[in-house]
Amino acid sequence: MRTDNSSEKRRKNRRLAWILAGLVLFMLVSSIPFWKGLFELAVSGAS
């Protein structure tokens, strides 16, 4: 048995990488103060 990356394995690797990238994105956008601050900025800008 050889471990050269088969297309199936590459697909699995990419899929897991994208899931982890999603987790990174979630952590970025769920830094709640970011959105809180952005909202306040928008409100104060409007007023």
Partner 1 sequence: MSTATIDLEHHEDHEHHGPPKGFKRWLFSTNHKDIGTMYLIFALTMLFAGGVSAMAIRAELFLPGLQLLEPDLYNNLVTNHALIMIFGAVMPAAAGLANWMIPLMIGAPDMALPRLNNLSFWILPAAATMLILSFVVPFFPGGGTQINTGWTIYPPLSIQVGMSMDFLLFALHMLGISSVLASINIIVTIFNMRAPDVKLTQMPIFVWTWLVTAFLLILVIPVLAGGVTMLIFDRHFGTSFFSAGGGGDPVLFQHLFWFFGHPEVYILILPSMGVLASVVPTFSRKPLFGYASMVGAMIAIMIIGMVVWAHHQYTIGMSLGAVSYFMIGTIIISIPVGLMVFNYMATMWRGAMTFETPMLFAIGILLMFSFGGLTGIMLAVVPADMQYHDSMFVVAHFHYVLMPGAVFGLFAGVFYWLPKWTGHMYDEKLAKIFFWVNVISFNVTFFPQHFIGLAGMPRRIVDYHAMFTEFNVISSLGAIVFGLSHLLLLYIIIKTIRGGKQAEDKVWEGAKGLEWELSSPPPFHSWTTPPKLAVS
> Which residues of the shown chain bind partner 1 in the complex (CB under 8 A)?
1-5, 9, 12-14, 16-17, 20-21, 23-25, 27-28, 31, 33-34, 37, 40-41, 44
- Name the DSSP letter for residue 44: H
Q: How far is the CB of 41 from partner 1 (least distance, A)?
A: 5
Distance CA 29, CA 40 (A): 16
Is residue 29 within 8 A of residue 35, CB to CB? The reply is yes
Tell me how far, at minimum, the Cβ of 28 lies from partner 1, in Å: 4
Give 30's DSSP letter.
T
Task: State the minimum distance, in angstroms, from the CB of residue 20 to partner 1.
Answer: 5
